[in-house]
Structure 1
Amino acid sequence: MGIPSPTGLTMSTRRASPPYTERALKPFGVEDVRILLLENINQTAVDILRNAGYQVEHHTKALSEDLLIEKIQHAHVIGIRSKTRLTANILKHAHSLLAIGCFCIGTNQVDLEYAAERGISVFNSPFSNSRSVAEMTIGNIITLARQIGDRNKEMHTGGWFKVSANCYEIRGKTLGIVGYGHIGSQLSVMAESLGMVVRFFDVLQLMPLGTSKPTDSLEELLRVSDFVTLHVPETPETKNMVGEREIGLMKPGSYLLNASRGTVVDIPALAAALRSKHLAGSAIDVYPSEPFGNGQFFESELIGCPNTILTPHIGGSTEEAQSMIGIEVANAMIRFINVGTTLNAVNFPQVDLRAISAAKASVLRLVNVHRNVPGVLRQINNILGPFNVEKQVCDNKDTISYFMADITIGGVEDIQTLYDRISSINENILTRVLY
């Protein structure tokens, strides 16, 4: 896949969350990297990781906590989806773990802060399913406008009610998009191609696509839109972003769609507006509380509401999206393992260096994770003083600093010296040497 694969790879680790986990400094080839994949991660990812030379153990389901603790002790990388919870209690047993791949959008199932403190980088794929979500939203808009959901339920119970009252074309209607990111902007283009007028609101100043126009406030967007669709992240600011007050500002007979996060909409307020006919319909794909597994477990005040489409968080669940997620996360983890780059990590600073040329056999790459406090970089550079540093970079994220440097060395003794001295810094969390 075009990812550099060094001829020799040393992954030497000393973790600073006492007690230290020590491993002898020794050549460590890609064939020694152990990958644990759970929850039937797409075969595309499995193939990419195996083709990179790693040992891949692939499970179709999530594991029990006891079995997960047993398995994670020996893994260098674990790949999960949304069902597996990687808590501090589980991660404290992950003595060899370097990276976590979340083969999905969210990372709420991982204790990101604890992982960072242990030097474990977490990757996800926030945008690979953008097209899938946008397409489903368009489909739901048309379905709501024609009341197809209710007609479908009636037909399945033997009813035949051919009506046109309160059924509309979407051409000429105003679509209000809250959140004009990857999904919202794609949806904007698709809606315009169907003849809709597009308005959007975002907290960032973003370039409109086509003839779409921003509104100055959420309130303005709610007042002018026939359809309002939400595509925002889960943050303290977006919790209950659309509640009784906001729904009251929407046009009588308008529609609300949410395929972002379940905490964004006040569900009781939405159910009341649907039953009172203030809203003509709604399509909801995400919920404040969602069942852990498949089965007859779903409960919501929205059940039975008129012209209401309820789907089980499947906005991004297409074969194409899962394949793209597999490609993106697998390649990010390969780059991290092989050359140390943290691009697309969610809990680490974004750090990258071009790969070491194969012709430079005497050059090694030092990777260090340490606590972000004054003076550590000075200590590292003092240790590197006797050596020729070809290039280096350091960046911080919250309490974590990530350092990379390519160094010309004379022999194995130099590698051991560098490793021992860098690892002995009090603020050290993780030290790796790649060559």
Structure 2
Amino acid sequence: MKVVISEFMDEAAIAAELSGLDTLYDPGLVDRPEALRAALADADAVIVRNRTELRGDLLAAAPKLRAVGRLGVGLDNIDLDACRARGIAVYPATGANDGAVAEYVIAAALLLLRGAYGASAAVAAGAWPRAALMGREIAGKRLGLVGFGAIARETARRAAALGMALAAFDPHLAAQDPAWNPASGPVARLSLDDLLAQSDVLSLHVPLTPETRGMIGAAEIARMRPGSVLINAARGGVVDEAALAAALRAGRLGGAALDVFAAEPVDAAAGALFRDVPNLILTPHIAGVTVESNIRVSAVTARAVRRHLTGG
């Protein structure tokens, strides 16, 4: 049985969980479409991250495919309907990187609210910009979570420990669900409009679907509290990037952090939109990837694929 791995993965997990299988590990395959298509011709399983678009011609090129392992939780790069129709099982690494994303969100909120951590060059050059760098504390601020699934709940737990008030919008979670009343304290259940208007930090935790694509556009950004901070470590395409850049340039928002983008990887032409935008953190879809989470995600995914192929 052959397993193809088209993006980076913990090699120890491959050795431990996929031993005895014919494993092709080539993290550069995602950037060589013809080689990837050829490798999948006789593959029983494929393991991918978010950049491998497993749909259309690529799926058709894998007639023996029985299982897909996803090194992460977002599934918008996989044609789930086509996989379902062919009986191909899809295994996301549910829960394995929740803590990593939650830490990223809290760190970004702290950085953006405080605003002092980019001063190294100025201080080293002899400037002493104390007045310009008087930032804000995170304690007492309201964290608004768009979507209240597992990662958002991990984020809320950490935010509560820092003294933040918590609120969320999630139309798919019933009002009586116990998730709204965790041990760390109740989470207010708000409409999206109210969450936008009342949050000091707005963090997005939704998949990319027809329903969520563009859900934070110019109108929604205009409803956000002046000086508030927006963090998107969920999926690109949920936020109107041009509208966000314009709001930051105008000083309407206090800052933003984007880990995900409508088109990835971001090239120089697309990146020009963000050039010289103030109080903006850009990272390359790395929120859920740490040394520790990579080990967990790789082991969980490889184990699921092996179990599907071998029955044990």
TM-score (ref. length: structure 2): 0.88
For 1:302, which of 264, 274, 282 is the aligned residue? 274
- Counterpart residue number, 2:70: 102
| 8 Å contact from structure 2 (residues 115, 133) kept in 1 | no
- Counterpart residue number, 1:290: 264
Task: Give the direction of change, closer, same or farther, for the CA distance of 1:66–1:156 in structure 2 (3 Å limit).
Answer: farther
Query: Which one-letter code corresponds to 2:148 in the other structure?
Result: Y
Q: Which runs of 5+ in 1 are unaligned?
A: 1-32, 340-354, 356-435
For 1:311, which of 277, 283, 287 is the aligned residue? 283
Q: Partner of 1:175: helix, strand, or coil?
A: strand
Q: Partner of 1:212: helix, strand, or coil?
A: coil
Question: Residue 301 of structure 1: CA displacement?
Answer: 2.4
Structure 2 residue 147 is matched with structure 1 residue 179: yes
For 2:130, which of 162, 165, 173 is the aligned residue? 162
- Counterpart residue number, 2:90: 122
Task: Give the direction of change, closer, same or farther, for the CA distance of 1:157–1:236 in structure 2 (3 Å limit).
Answer: farther
| 8 Å contact from structure 1 (residues 200, 214) kept in 2 | yes
Query: Which one-letter code corresponds to 1:170 in the other structure?
Result: I
- Counterpart residue number, 2:302: 330
Task: Give the direction of change, closer, same or farther, for the CA distance of 1:83–1:165 in structure 2 (3 Å limit).
Answer: closer
- Counterpart residue number, 1:143: 111
| 8 Å contact from structure 2 (residues 7, 26) kept in 1 | yes
For 1:59, which of 26, 39, 47 is the aligned residue? 26
CA distance in 2, matches of 1:302, 1:154: 22
Question: Residue 167 of structure 1: CA displacement?
Answer: 0.8
- Counterpart residue number, 1:270: 244
CA distance in 2, matches of 1:243, 1:155: 37
- Counterpart residue number, 2:170: 202
Deviations 1:206-252 (A, max 9, x none): 42222232233111112221111111111222122122222222222
- Counterpart residue number, 2:188: 214
Number of positions where the alignment pairs a residue of Structure 1 with one of Structure 2: 305
Q: Partner of 1:70: helix, strand, or coil?
A: helix
- Counterpart residue number, 1:111: 79
CA distance in 2, matches of 1:91, 1:111: 9
Query: Which one-letter code corresponds to 2:219 in the other structure?
Result: R
CA distance in 2, matches of 1:223, 1:82: 32
Q: Could you say what the CA RMSD is over the residues aligned between the two structures, in angstroms?
A: 2.4
Question: Residue 44 of structure 1: CA displacement?
Answer: 3.7
Q: Partner of 1:66: helix, strand, or coil?
A: helix
CA distance in 1, matches of 2:122, 2:212: 36
Structure 2 residue 206 is matched with structure 1 residue 232: yes
Question: 1 or 2, which has the higher helix percentage?
Answer: 2
Deviations 1:248-287 (A, max 9, x none): 2222221111111111111222122212212111111111
CA distance in 2, matches of 1:40, 1:87: 20
Task: Give the direction of change, closer, same or farther, for the CA distance of 1:156–1:130 in structure 2 (3 Å limit).
Answer: farther
CA distance in 1, matches of 2:156, 2:260: 21
Question: 1 or 2, which has the higher strand percentage?
Answer: 1
CA distance in 1, matches of 2:83, 2:215: 30
TM-score (ref. length: structure 1): 0.65
Q: Partner of 2:18: helix, strand, or coil?
A: helix
Percent identity of the aligned residues? Answer: 34
Question: Residue 132 of structure 1: CA displacement?
Answer: 0.5
